[in-house]
A = this chain, B = another copy of it.
Amino acid sequence: MFLSTTINGVDAKGRVSVPADFRAVVRGGPFDGIIVWPSFDGPYLEGGGQALLERYQALIEDMDPYDDARIAFERAIFGAAKPLAFDANGRVTLPKELSDHAGLDGKATFVGLGSRFEIWAPEAFEEHKRNAQAFARDNKRSLRPGARAGGVS
């Protein structure tokens, strides 16, 4: 499981160390690296191991082959997703499209969310976190036993 929050540096070549905890999650999987795509919901990146993408693929293949939503998801997720392989030190190189989308500049915040994770510009994440905490406080009753979706520690 991807857990906790880490800030790592992004060097001049666009390289960033993936937190060791995150690397351990995908170790042993079919692809030695992570897959990252720009969120279509805001200025941050979403990512996970190849297993996550295969889960999405299974969901999408249950939809009608020419459903508009299916085509849209395919293009928005698979079309924009980049497989980023680890180098010998556990780093990946972020393509310019991705770091631009998230507004990354020298630092990146990795946020574990269980089955997937997000990458934010640190300042943007701080603000988002404030909003998210307020939202969680206002909606705490929707988290009940039985809905085992996982909370933030």
Pick the residue among B40, B48, B81, B148 that contacts A140 (CB under 8 A).
B40
Q: Within 8 Å CB of A55, what residues of B? A: 145-146, 151
Judge if A124 is at the interface, Cβ distance under 8 Å.
no
- Which residue of chain B is the closest to A5 with respect to CB atoms? B79
What are some 18 contacts across the A-B interface (CB < 8 A)? A1-B53, A3-B78, A25-B153, A26-B152, A29-B151, A40-B133, A55-B145, A57-B115, A59-B145, A69-B136, A69-B142, A74-B114, A76-B133, A81-B112, A115-B145, A115-B151, A148-B149, A149-B149
Given contacts A114-B149, A115-B150, contact A3 B48 (CB under 8 A): no
Compute how far the CA of A113 lies from the CA of B46 in the bound complex, rounded to whole angstroms.
Answer: 17
Q: Within 8 Å CB of A113, what residues of B? A: 74-75, 78-79
For this chain, the copies found in one complex come to 2
Cβ contact within 8 Å between B114 and A49: no
Pick the residue among B28, B53, B72, B115 that contacts A136 (CB under 8 A).
B72
Which residues of A106-153 are within 8 A (CB) of B? Answer: 111-115, 128-129, 131-133, 135-137, 139-140, 142-153
Cβ contact within 8 Å between B48 and A114: no
Chain A contact residues (Cβ within 8 angstroms of B): what range? 35 or more
Compute how far the CA of A112 lies from the CA of B15 in the bound complex, rounded to whole angstroms.
Answer: 24
Compute how far the CA of A133 lies from the CA of B69 in the bound complex, rounded to whole angstroms.
Answer: 10
Cβ contact within 8 Å between B78 and A114: yes
A36 to chain B, nearest CB (A): 10
Pick the residue among B57, B72, B139, B144 that contacts A132 (CB under 8 A).
B72
